[in-house]
Amino acid sequence: MRIFGRFIVIVAQNDSSGRIGITVPKKVGAAHVRNKVKRRIRHTFRHKQDLFAQKALVIIARPAAALISFAELSQDIINTCARIRFEKRVPTFRRTK
């Protein structure tokens, strides 16, 4: 499941591990800029762990993430993760002849 925010894209999977992966492509900027964005994302997750429990997430930063303040990025992460909904899929069975 992909959820698009203004500055990030989240790929979510219903998993009990609570793992997180952070990807910041070179389009975002130089190495020091990408590391700054990664640090900001990690900081948000450390302080809002209860919101992200029971989910395996991959966060992909968009180029605009380097140009905004920490508060804006943090709020976008929280708002985007709040939109994650996992539906229970009912398996469909095909009849074989």
pTM given for the model: 0.79
Q: What is the pLDDT of residue 90?
A: 52
Contact of 20 with 43, CB cutoff 8 Å: no
On whether residue 91 sits in a domain, the answer given is no
On whether residue 87 sits in a domain, the answer given is no
| Residue ranges making up the domain that contains 41 | 2-82
Q: What is the pLDDT of residue 86?
A: 57
On whether residue 65 sits in a domain, the answer given is yes
CATH of the domain at 51: 3.30.230.10
Confidence bin at 82 (pLDDT 50/70/90): confident
Q: What is the pLDDT of residue 31?
A: 96
On whether residue 88 sits in a domain, the answer given is no
Contact of 65 with 73, CB cutoff 8 Å: yes
Domain count, the chain: 1
Q: Smallest Cα–Cα separation from 26: which of 79, 76, 75, 66?
A: 66
- Write the CA distances from 70 to 7, 18, 37, 85, integer angstroms: 12, 23, 9, 25
Q: Looking at residues 72-93, what average pLDDT do you find?
A: 76
Contact of 84 with 3, CB cutoff 8 Å: yes
